[in-house]
Copies of this chain bind each other. A is one copy, B any other.
């Protein structure tokens, strides 16, 4: 397997922008998708300008703004970066665009932001990822990652990530491809936390983290596991 191409479904939101920046800064090709190509191109122009600021003189594979379908058809790691409330509809409308050999990466968390608190929205199958798994063809391996990472820290390349991301999925091979690619991102460590059944806990961790952030007036909280090394 050669180098992965990163596809971001509806990547114009905070999580998509952040991941686009980190993967592009790592030297990977990123296809940032949107329902409309011109919206994707607008975001892409802005992000590429920021990358050029951080790395003046270096030539990176630019982030490319494309339609969602094109991003899916031409990427090997496809990440769904919409808010969870749009995740099921978006994925359902695009599922036929997935190609054999592509790995799907779920980044979404079903959160409900209430007055002064944040809650997970209970899912019939137990987690957001399990809900989405049902929509994709069985032939496309399903993984999850990046669920506990603050979007604006991802986007701000001047901030060191200095944390871990929890990766799960039932296909060992797909997880290994994803983890190998995450390792390209500076100071971000992927940790394998098991199969799809781990999704509920990882999604719950996002809710806990947002609570901690709010109490301690931060937007930058993220998890690191200390006491383990590879």
Residues on A lying within 8 angstroms of B by beta carbon are 117, 119, 150, 153, 162-163, 166, 191-194, 197-198, 200-202, 204-205, 207-209, 211-213, 215-216, 218, 220-230
Top 6 closest pairs, chain A to chain B, by CB: A201-B204, A220-B227, A218-B228, A193-B208, A221-B228, A216-B228
Q: In the complex this chain forms, how many copies of it are found?
A: 2
**Contacting residues, chain B, for A205 (C-beta < 8 A):** 201, 205
Q: How far is the CA of A226 from the CA of B226 in the complex (A)?
A: 11
> Could you tell me if B227 and A221 are in contact, using CB atoms closer than 8 angstroms?
yes
Query: How many Å from the CB of A228 to the closest CB on chain B?
Result: 4
**Looking at A163, A207, A227, A228, which has the most chain B CB atoms within 10 Å of its CB?**
A227
Q: How far is the CA of A26 from the CA of B72 in the complex (A)?
A: 56
Q: A198-B211, A216-B229 are in contact. List 16 more A-B contacts (CB 8 A).
A: A117-B194, A153-B227, A163-B226, A192-B215, A198-B204, A200-B204, A201-B201, A201-B205, A204-B204, A212-B225, A216-B230, A218-B227, A221-B227, A221-B228, A223-B226, A224-B226
- Cβ-neighbour of A226 out of B198, B202, B221 (below 8 A): B221
7 A-B pairs with CB atoms under 8 Å apart are A162-B226, A192-B215, A194-B211, A198-B204, A220-B226, A223-B223, A224-B225
- Cβ-neighbour of A192 out of B211, B223, B225 (below 8 A): B211
Query: How many Å from the CB of A205 to the closest CB on chain B?
Result: 6
**Contacting residues, chain B, for A204 (C-beta < 8 A):** 198, 200-201, 204
Nearest chain B residue, comparing its CB with the CB of A212: B191
Query: How many Å from the CB of A200 to the closest CB on chain B?
Result: 7
Nearest chain B residue, comparing its CB with the CB of A208: B193
> Could you tell me if B213 and A194 are in contact, using CB atoms closer than 8 angstroms?
no
Given contacts A225-B223, A226-B163, A227-B221, contact A198 B208 (CB under 8 A): yes
> Could you tell me if A209 and B225 are in contact, using CB atoms closer than 8 angstroms?
yes
Nearest chain B residue, comparing its CB with the CB of A209: B225
**Contacting residues, chain B, for A197 (C-beta < 8 A):** 119
**Contacting residues, chain B, for A207 (C-beta < 8 A):** 201
- Cβ-neighbour of A220 out of B208, B221, B228 (below 8 A): B228
Query: How many Å from the CB of A211 to the closest CB on chain B?
Result: 5
